[in-house]
Amino acid sequence: MGPTQASISSPIKGGILMNYETLAKSIQESFKKNQQILTFEEFTKLLTEKPRHFLRGSAQYSADMLDHFGRNETPAHKTNAGISFKVFNRPVDGITAKVVGQENVQAHIYNTLKGFSRLGLSNRLILLHGPNGSAKSTLISALMQGLEDYSHTPEGALYTFSWIFPIDRVVRGSLGIRSDADKKASQVSSYANLVDEDIACVIQSELRDHPALLLPIEQRQQFFKTLDLPQSLDFRIPARLLDGGLSHRDQLIFQALLNNYHGDFAQVLKHIRVERFFLSRVYRAGLITVEPQMHVDAHYHQLTMNRSLSQLPSSLQGLNFFSITGDLADSNRGMIDYNDLLKRPIDSYKYLLGACETGRVNIGQAILHLDSVFIGSSNELQLDAFKEYPDFSSFKGRIELIRVPYLLKLSQEQQVYEGMLQSVAGEKAVTPHTVWSIAFWGVLTRLQKPHRERYPSELAQIIDKLSPLDKLRIYDTEEMPERFTNEERKLLRANLSKLQEELSAVPFYEGRSGASARELKAILIDAAQNSEFKTLSPLAVASELRKFVKRVTEYEFLRQDPVDGYHHHEAFIEAMLNEYSTLVDREVRDCLGLYDTKQWMDFMKKYITHLSSLLKKEKMKNPITGGYEEPDQTLLNEFENIVAAPQESAARDQFRQNLIQQIGAWSLDHPKETMDYFRVFPELKQRIEKHFYESQKSLLQKMTTALKHFGTDYEDPNSEGSKLAQQTIENMKKKFGYSTDGAKEVIGFLMSRKY
CB 696 within 8 A of CB 721: no
Shared domain for 11 and 133, answered yes or no, is no
Residue 686 inside a domain? The answer is yes
Residue 747 inside a domain? The answer is no
Model confidence, pTM: 0.79
Shared domain for 129 and 259, answered yes or no, is yes
The pLDDT value recorded for residue 439 is: 96
The pLDDT value recorded for residue 532 is: 92
149: domain CATH number is 3.40.50.300
Residue 741 inside a domain? The answer is no
Q: How many whole angstroms separate alpha carbon 140 and alpha carbon 148? A: 12
Residue 264 inside a domain? The answer is yes
Shared domain for 330 and 193, answered yes or no, is yes
Shared domain for 248 and 309, answered yes or no, is yes
The pLDDT value recorded for residue 361 is: 77
Of 434, 343, 356, 443, the C-alpha closest to 398 is 356
User: Which residues, 6 or more positions from 319, have their beta carbon under 8 angstroms from its beta carbon?
Assistant: 252, 253, 256
For 664, the domain range is: 597-736
Composition of the chain by helix, strand, coil, percent to 5: 55, 10, 35
711-737 burial by CB neighbour count: b if 16+ within 10 A, else e?
eeeebeeeeebbebbbebbebbeeebe
Could you give the number of structural domains in the chain? 4
The pLDDT value recorded for residue 721 is: 65
Shared domain for 339 and 437, answered yes or no, is no
Run of H or E including 241? helix 239-243
Residue 744 inside a domain? The answer is no
Among 342, 375, 404, residue at a domain's last position: 404
Shared domain for 43 and 10, answered yes or no, is no
C-alpha 104: how far from its chain's center? 11
Q: How many whole angstroms separate alpha carbon 411 and alpha carbon 226? A: 53
Q: How many whole angstroms separate alpha carbon 523 and alpha carbon 440? A: 13
Shared domain for 185 and 228, answered yes or no, is yes
Shared domain for 388 and 441, answered yes or no, is no
Write the secondary structure of 318-333 as one string of H (helix), E (strand) and C (coil).
CCCCEEEECHHHHHCC
Shared domain for 259 and 358, answered yes or no, is yes
Among 404, 425, 453, residue at a domain's last position: 404
Residue 135 inside a domain? The answer is yes
Residue 313 inside a domain? The answer is yes
Shared domain for 202 and 312, answered yes or no, is yes
Question: Could you state, in chain order, the average pLDDT of each consecutive group of 10 residues for the chain (755 residues)?
Answer: 41 48 62 76 91 92 94 59 81 69 91 90 90 90 94 94 84 49 57 86 89 92 87 81 87 89 91 93 89 58 51 61 76 90 78 76 74 91 86 82 93 89 86 95 94 87 91 91 85 88 83 92 93 93 95 92 92 94 84 69 85 86 81 86 85 86 82 80 79 69 65 63 79 90 87 73
Shared domain for 363 and 270, answered yes or no, is yes
Shared domain for 323 and 440, answered yes or no, is no
Among 374, 404, 434, residue at a domain's last position: 404
The pLDDT value recorded for residue 179 is: 45
Residue 17 inside a domain? The answer is yes
